[in-house]
Structure 1
């Protein structure tokens, strides 16, 4: 299971699947793909699959916090 605490650990270099990212951020998979397309959420390709670095998730959360203030 993906937790917010796992993002703050040294293993935040982990690559998350789109479904894991969606679960972590409480968003749908289609919203995650839209965030990737719009450039608001960084991702990388690994073969044919799309992965989201833990650091990109943390950056996206920080972006949301900045926009809220």
Structure 2
């Protein structure tokens, strides 16, 4: 039985949807480096661990 392929990275739009944020807010978080990303051609890509890191920082700051 084969496993579905897991995405290796996400678009900024996908990250916005995952976090429940608007696209403009997510783009701002990426532009300011609060969510790490890499440039892939004309697009920004975000590794899943970088989304997890951002959420962990939010939780830590709230504690």
Q: Over the residues paired in the alignment, what is the CA RMSD in angstroms?
A: 1.7
TM-score normalised over the length of structure 1: 0.77
Q: Is the 8 A contact 1:18 1:51 kept in 2?
A: yes
Which protein has the larger Cα radius of gyration, Structure 1 or Structure 2? Answer: 2
Q: How far apart are 1:13 and its partner, in Å? A: 7.2
Aligned residues: 59
Name segments (4+ residues, structure 1) moved above 6 Å.
none
| Consecutive unaligned residues in structure 1, runs of 5 or more | 1-10
More helix by share: 1
Q: Which residue of 2 aligns with 1:49?
A: 43
CA–CA distance in structure 2, aligned partners of residues 39 and 17 of structure 1: 15
